[in-house]
Amino acid sequence: MKDLLVFAPEVEQALAANRPVVALESTIITHGMPYPQNLEVARRVEATVREAGATPATIAVIDGRIRIGLDDATLQGLAETPGAQVMKLSRADLAACLALGRTGATTVAATMICAHLAGIRTFATGGIGGVHRGAETSFDISADLHELARTPVTVVAAGAKAILDLPKTREVLETLGVPVIAFGQDALPAFWSRDSGLAAPLRMDDPAQIARAGLLRTDLGLSGGQLVVNPIPEADEIPRATMIPVVEQALAEAEAQGIAAKSVTPFLLQRIFELTRGRSLDANIALVLNNARLAARIAAAMA
């Protein structure tokens, strides 16, 4: 198994010494944010993990090899490559990308799989995939939800974007037996806003409790990870009312253009960035950094 993975030296050393490591995904870089902000954010997230006392491991497939930790030149190359040229990898695509010798960015699902293979138990991202609006006809439910149910990694996110159906996403996570733990509040956060108007199923206020819950799931023989939903800092949040018309417009354009399958989430994210240029991106950056800090504290408690 391990020979399929290529470790960055600092990540390998940190894991060998049982020091905290935080996995980071790469689809947010290639399909989630525009260049050059994507590169700047990827670097700042890594720096934030380091400042918080953990080692960052950005995960991607480069020329058919799973890389656990990227050097800066590789990170830059990935950020500069147009998203259309990089495979978007979920559980279904990972082995195929290796067999084809291609380059691919890992979604939350694929990053969880690779992190688990590498022995990393904590992972920070921005938003997860979920149940799309209109899923009752489109059947569009992200594989991220099923991955959370089967792979033992603690994922720190800021909730799910309003492009998704939040009540249905919460229901599916409950059905799949995924703990959804709000950090420090009772409400489920909604990405750009701190409060979705829905209650979070679980709440914890201490990163050490979150770490312990993750380890106890494994001790209990429960497969699967846990989702930690961390509200965006107050100073950076955007009121829900501001985002609703933007999201509605992006969804209407996706429908009119017949966008389907893997293209749906990247299309919506890109249109929202274009429509709000500046504000939604600033909020997105702030919440990713905030998640990186919390993940580092959880990883330290687990190590």
The question of whether 25 is a catalytic residue gets the answer yes
Residue 271 is a binding residue for ligand PSU (CB under 6 A): no
CA separation for the pair 150, 134 (Å, rounded): 25
Tell me whether residue 180 is annotated as binding.
no
Q: Minimum distance from CB of 108 to ligand PSU (Å)?
A: 3
How many C-beta atoms lie closer than 10 Å to residue 60's C-beta?
Answer: 30
Q: Minimum distance from CB of 27 to Mn ion (Å)?
A: 12
Residue 25 is a binding residue for Mn ion (CB under 5 A): no
The one-letter code for the residue type at 114 is C
Contact 44, 10 (CB under 8 A): no
Pick the catalytic residue: 46, 147, 161, 237?
Answer: 161
Residue 232 is a binding residue for ligand PSU (CB under 6 A): no
The one-letter code for the residue type at 302 is M
* CB within 8 Å of 206: residues ≥ 6 apart: none
Whose tokens are 């260049």? That residue is 35
Residue 140 is a binding residue for Mn ion (CB under 5 A): yes
28 binds, among Mn ion, ligand PSU, none (CB under 5 to 8 A by kind): ligand PSU
154 binds, among ligand PSU, Mn ion, none (CB under 5 to 8 A by kind): none
CA separation for the pair 126, 57 (Å, rounded): 15
Binding part of the chain for ligand PSU, among 1-9, 71-79, 138-146, 245-253 by CB under 6 A, reads 138-146
Nearest to 88 by CA among 114, 67, 58, 108: 108
Tokens representing 174 are 């409950």
* Interacting residues with Mn ion (CB under 5 A): 140
* Interacting residues with ligand PSU (CB under 6 A): 25, 27-28, 32, 90, 107-108, 126-129, 142-144, 161, 262, 265, 269
Binding site for substrate: residue ranges?
88, 108, 142-144
Where in the sequence numbering do the catalytic residues fall?
A: 25, 161
